[in-house]
Chain A
Amino acid sequence: MSSALLIVSKLGYNAGEKTLLSDISLSIQAGELVGIIGPNGAGKSTLMKCLSGFQKYNRGEVLIKGLSLTKLSDIDRARDLSYLPQYSETAFPFSVMETVGFGFHVQQQTQPMSAKAIAAKTIEALTLVGIDHLKDRSITALSGGEKQLVHFARLLVQGAPLMLLDEPTASLDIGHESQLMNVLYQQCQQGKSALVAIHNLNTAAEFCDRLILVEQGQIIAEGKPSDVLTKANIHRLYQDFVIVSQHAETGNTIVSPYRK
């Protein structure tokens, strides 16, 4: 456990009187792709905000590479931890190239980078995500899904070993959803780690090494997808509006909506 990239112990967060997170403990090792699942309002986004340091938590401790999140400077934190929020509204019409290029901010703190090097690495990331054809477009003119992919590419160039992604696939079509998750999966195969809040349980089961099930601000199950996505757990969370079955080829759990 001591080698874990991220250790969260007994994290709690209150907004006023209301307890939004309580007693959250988890850890992420290098190379792991971990999914956070749970119904709307379970506290997934709040947990992401707390772990990213954007929202100050009230109780518990978050350690990144053994150092407390609250004691790290912003630059040091961003070197090890990158964060993709659920909604990103860009104020001005930057080009896609410029937007992704801003992701090099942390690296530019230690060594200056030439515009040429930035452009080359930006194109590389855009190609990986499959949106290199958008490179000269203005970010404000893109669709919601395309914007999300641009910000994902920006996250990749930041190069942090641990990535927090808050529902990165929410506005993507199924093809792009699969592409994004595949890129993320490859990144984790190469030693990076990711914690992803995700709504689509099938995608979560397919790509994640581990799932963490959150309900009402608490972790109620954690483990391999097949252990977490049990009929009992799913019915508890989503009542009888969904049906759980087994994929004929992969044997993975399939959760689908169901007309009563």
Chain B
Amino acid sequence: MPFYRLTAVQTLFSVLLFCGLFLLYLSFGAIHIPISDILALFKAYFVGGSELALTEQPLASAVVLHIRLPRACAAILAGGSLALAGACTQGLFRNPLASPDVLGVSAGSSFGAVLAIVTGFSFMNPMWLPIFTTVGALAAAAVIYLLASRHASTQILFLILTGLALSSLLGGARMGLLLMAQQYEMSQFVFWAMGGLDGRTWSQLMWPAPIIVVVSALLLRECRALNLLALGEENAHGMGLNIKKTRLKLLMFSTLLTAMSIAVAGPIGFIGLMVPHLVRLIVGPTHEKLLPFSALFGVIFLLACDLLGRWIIAPNELKVGIITSFIGGCYFIALIIRFQRKGSFV
């Protein structure tokens, strides 16, 4: 089958999968809303706004528009940005198993979260928590980059080592803070650290959403740079790529996307590593295909995991971070077995 036709089939399949999953996500829950009602609700909303939607579909309007839709949007934003950040990091580090965690973003955001909790900011207003995690993540990434690129050679190895060192430092500081924290503060941190989408409101998505959309769009313009970089830095340089500028740009993009996804959903493991890796096996390694499909599958994967978490012990819920960690761990073990058999991770 020619490649372009394969891509058309893959695109159609993925989009249909997404639409089906999205409707199922909105329909399923403690109060079942039939899919026909959801479609009628959307129609009413687009024709006559929220007032018409409320009069025509009062129940669906309350449940879908105010509870499930913001949660679905949070899943879409976090899943898409994590998978894109992962694809970008793997391209940047020229390693099919790299993950944005390497950049120290996770350690920075966790430290920010603990700080917000023990200083009491997160009790004054829940909005402070994502702000603290974002600032922590970006500050950690900035320190790592500045330390690693103090000399002209901004070598990838230095980035990884500095990331490890700073993660260790921040991890120690976080433990120290937690030791002094109250019992309820500790449990609030543990709860946050699981990563979840429950209780998301529109106002919580207002500021991360535009950043995610803009950075994703900018990242999608770097497909060719990522392709050239994959051939090795000397080759990419020979073909006219500015290595230093490109690397800084890609680092910024993946850091911002990861930080925003943490602001939306807390730390959710393994999507950034697993989704791009899996997508590369399906659509191939060229980034013109890899990036958009990774974003789409990141969205599908997180929606599916959260749906599973809401369904598996209904009427209670499992945090989505637990589900992704579990699936991610299994995927990783399968990869190791595959490597032992075939001798290749890609």
Q: CB within 8 Å of B: which residues of A? A: 49, 52-54, 56, 73-75, 77-79, 81-85, 87-95, 98-99, 102-103, 105-106, 109, 140, 151, 154-155, 158, 164
Q: Is the CB–CB distance between B238 and A85 below 8 Å?
A: yes
Please tell me which one of the listed residues A49, A53, A88 contacts residue B235 in the complex, with CB atoms under 8 A apart. Answer: A88
Q: Which residue of B is nearest A49, CB measured?
A: B234
Q: CB within 8 Å of A: which residues of B? A: 91, 94-96, 152, 224, 227-235, 237-242, 280, 284-286, 344, 346
Residues in B with CB closer than 8 Å to A151 are 231, 235
Q: Is the CB–CB distance between B232 and A140 below 8 Å?
A: no
Q: Is the CB–CB distance between B242 and A74 below 8 Å?
A: yes
Complex Cα spacing A228 to B96, Å: 47
Closest 9 CB pairs of A and B: A78-B240, A83-B238, A92-B285, A91-B94, A85-B234, A91-B230, A75-B240, A74-B242, A106-B240
Tell me how far the C-beta of B157 lies from the nearest C-beta in chain A, rounded to whole angstroms: 15
Q: Is the CB–CB distance between B239 and A105 below 8 Å?
A: yes
Tell me how far the C-beta of A114 lies from the nearest C-beta in chain B, rounded to whole angstroms: 13
Complex Cα spacing A10 to B224, Å: 37
Q: Is the CB–CB distance between B240 and A88 below 8 Å?
A: no
A-B contact count (CB 8 A): 91
Q: Is the CB–CB distance between A106 and B95 below 8 Å?
A: no
Complex Cα spacing A92 to B97, Å: 11
Q: Is the CB–CB distance between B237 and A53 below 8 Å?
A: yes
Q: Is the CB–CB distance between B346 and A99 below 8 Å?
A: no
Interface centre among B95, B240, B242 (most CB of A within 10 A): B240
With known contacts A85-B232, A91-B96, A105–B346 Cβ distance under 8 A: no
Q: Is the CB–CB distance between B240 and A94 below 8 Å?
A: no
With known contacts A91-B94, A92-B346, A94-B286, A105–B238 Cβ distance under 8 A: no
With known contacts A98-B286, A105-B224, A90–B231 Cβ distance under 8 A: yes
Residues in B with CB closer than 8 Å to A52 are 234, 237-238
Residues in B with CB closer than 8 Å to A105 are 224, 228, 239-241
Residues in A with CB closer than 8 Å to B235 are 83-85, 88, 151, 154
Complex Cα spacing A102 to B288, Å: 12
Residues in B with CB closer than 8 Å to A90 are 230-232
